[in-house]
Amino acid sequence: MMNTNLHTRKDQSTAEGAGGQASYGRFKQSGVDTTHGAILYLESISVIFDGFKALNDLSLDIGVGELRCIIGPNGAGKTTMMDVITGKTKPTSGSAYFGQSIDLTKMHEAQIADVGIGRKFQRPTVFEQHTVFENLELAMKMNKRVRPTLFARLTGTQKDKIAETLELLRLTQEYQRPAGLLSHGQKQWLEIGMLLMQEPLLLLLDEPVAGMTDAETERTGELLNDLRGKHSLMVVEHDMDFVNQIAQDGKVTVLCEGSVLAEGTMAQVQNDERVIEVYLGR
Amino acid sequence: MNSLSNNLQPRSMGPLFSAKAWTAIILVTAVFACLPILNLSFAPGHTLHISAYTIGLIGKFTCYAMAALALDLVWGYAGILSLGHGLFFALGGYGMGMYLMRAGKSSPDIVPDFMTFLSWKAYPWFWSFTEHFWYAMLLVLLVPGLLAFIFGYFAFRSRIKGVYFSIITQALTFAAMLLFFRNETGFGGNNGFTDFKRILGFDITSPQTRAALYWLSLGALLAALILGRAITQSKLGRVLTAIRDAESRLRFLGYEPLGFKLFVWTVSAMICGVAGALYVPQVGIINPGEMSTENSIEMVIWVATGGRGTLIGPIVGAGVINGLKTWFTSALPEFWLYALGLIFVLVTLFLPQGIVGLIRRLGRREKALS
Residue B286 β-bridge partners: B193
Q: How far is A122 from chain B (nearest CA, A)?
A: 12
Phi-psi region of A264 (alpha: psi -120 to 50; beta: other; left: phi over 0): left
Q: What is the pLDDT of residue A128?
A: 94
Residues of chain B positioned with their CB less than 8 A from the CB of A108: 251, 256
Its sign, for the CA torsion A107, A110, A112, A115, is negative
- Asked if pLDDT for residue A3 goes beyond 50, the answer is no
Q: What is the pLDDT of residue A267?
A: 87
Percent share of chain B, pLDDT over 90:
87
Residue B198 lies inside a defined structural domain of this protein: yes
Q: What is the pLDDT of residue A228?
A: 83
Q: State the pLDDT confidence band at A239, using cuts at 50, 70 and 90.
A: confident
Residue B119 lies inside a defined structural domain of this protein: yes
Q: What is the pLDDT of residue B27?
A: 96
Q: State the pLDDT confidence band at B80, using cuts at 50, 70 and 90.
A: very high
Residues of chain A positioned with their CB less than 8 A from the CB of B260: 146, 149
Residue B352 vs residues A141, B76, B240, B345, B357: alpha-carbon distances, Å: 35, 12, 20, 10, 8
Q: Do the Cβ atoms of A121 and B234 come within 8 Å?
A: no
User: Coil, helix or strand for B193?
Assistant: strand
Using CB atoms, pick whichever of B5, B238, B250 lies closest to residue A134: B238
* Mean of pLDDT values over B156-164: 94
* Mean of pLDDT values over A212-218: 89
Residues of chain A positioned with their CB less than 8 A from the CB of B2: 160
Q: Do the Cβ atoms of A130 and B256 come within 8 Å?
A: no
Number of neighbouring beta carbons within 10 Å of residue A233 = 25
Burial-class residue B168 by CB neighbours within 10 Å (0-12, 13-18, 19+): middle
Q: What is the pLDDT of residue A250?
A: 85
Number of domains in chain B: 1
User: Coil, helix or strand for B203?
Assistant: strand
Q: What is the pLDDT of residue A2?
A: 42
Report d(CA B64, CA A214) in Å as an integer.
57
Residue B240 lies inside a defined structural domain of this protein: yes
Whether the CB-CB separation of B141 and B273 falls below 8 Å is answered with: yes
Q: How far is A221 from chain B (nearest CA, A)?
A: 23
Indicate yes or no: pTM above 0.90.
no
Report d(CA A248, CA A239) in Å as an integer.
15
Residue B179 β-bridge partners: none
Q: Do the Cβ atoms of A138 and B235 come within 8 Å?
A: yes
Whether the CB-CB separation of B211 and B11 falls below 8 Å is answered with: no
Residue A150 vs residues B233, B260, B311: alpha-carbon distances, Å: 9, 9, 18
Q: Do the Cβ atoms of A176 and B255 come within 8 Å?
A: no
Give per-residue pLDDT as tens, B297-308: 999 999 999 999
> To the nearest whole number, what is the mean pLDDT of chain A?
84
Q: Do the Cβ atoms of B13 and A154 come within 8 Å?
A: yes
Q: Do the Cβ atoms of B253 and A160 come within 8 Å?
A: no
Residues of chain A positioned with their CB less than 8 A from the CB of B11: 131, 133-134, 176
Q: What is the pLDDT of residue B11?
A: 57
- Asked if pLDDT for residue A266 goes beyond 70, the answer is yes
User: Coil, helix or strand for B250?
Assistant: helix
Residues of chain A positioned with their CB less than 8 A from the CB of B245: 127-130
- Asked if pLDDT for residue A8 goes beyond 70, the answer is no
Report CA dihedral (A46, A47, A51, A56) to the nearest 10 degrees. -40
Question: What is the span of the domain harbouring residue B264?
Answer: 28-292
For the range B235-240, what are the long-range contacts, defined as Cβ-Cβ under 8 Å and sequence gap of 24 or more? B235/A137, B235/A138, B235/A149, B235/A150, B235/A152, B236/A146, B236/A149, B236/A150, B236/A152, B236/B260, B236/B263, B237/B12, B237/B77, B238/A130, B238/A134, B238/A137, B238/A138, B238/B10, B238/B12, B239/A138, B239/A149, B240/B77, B240/B78, B240/B264
Q: What is the pLDDT of residue B155?
A: 97
Q: State the pLDDT confidence band at A28, using cuts at 50, 70 and 90.
A: very low
Residue B111 DSSP one-character state: P
Domains within chain A, CATH numbers bracketed: 2-10+32-280 (3.40.50.300)
**Going by DSSP bridges, is the β-strand pair A252-256/A232-236 parallel, antiparallel, or unpaired?**
unpaired
Q: State the pLDDT confidence band at A180, using cuts at 50, 70 and 90.
A: very high
Q: Which of A144, A165, A194 is the best residue to mutate to test the B interface, defined by the most B CB atoms within 10 Å of its own CB?
A: A144
Residue B46 lies inside a defined structural domain of this protein: yes
User: Is ipTM beyond 0.85?
Assistant: yes
Q: What is the pLDDT of residue A20?
A: 43
Q: Do the Cβ atoms of A113 and B251 come within 8 Å?
A: yes
Q: Do the Cβ atoms of A167 and B1 come within 8 Å?
A: yes
Give per-residue pLDDT as tens, A31-44: 677 777 889 999 99
Residue A136 β-bridge partners: none
Using CB atoms, pick whichever of B10, B248, B255 lies closest to residue A134: B10
Q: State the pLDDT confidence band at B342, using cuts at 50, 70 and 90.
A: very high
Residue B116 lies inside a defined structural domain of this protein: yes
* Mean of pLDDT values over A199-228: 88
Q: What is the pLDDT of residue A16?
A: 41
Note whether A163 contacts B: Cβ–Cβ < 8 A: yes
Task: Compare A211 and A165 and report the one with higher pLDDT.
Answer: A165
Report d(CA B65, CA B71) in Å as an integer.
10
Residue B259 lies inside a defined structural domain of this protein: yes
Nearest-by-CA chain A residue for B242: A127
End-to-end CA distance of chain A: 46
- Asked if pLDDT for residue B331 goes beyond 90, the answer is yes
Residue B297 lies inside a defined structural domain of this protein: no
Q: Do the Cβ atoms of A138 and B250 come within 8 Å?
A: yes
Residues in chain B whose beta carbon is closer than 8 A to a beta carbon of chain A? Answer: 1-2, 4-6, 8-13, 231, 234-236, 238-239, 241-242, 245-246, 248-256, 259-260, 263
Residue B128 lies inside a defined structural domain of this protein: yes
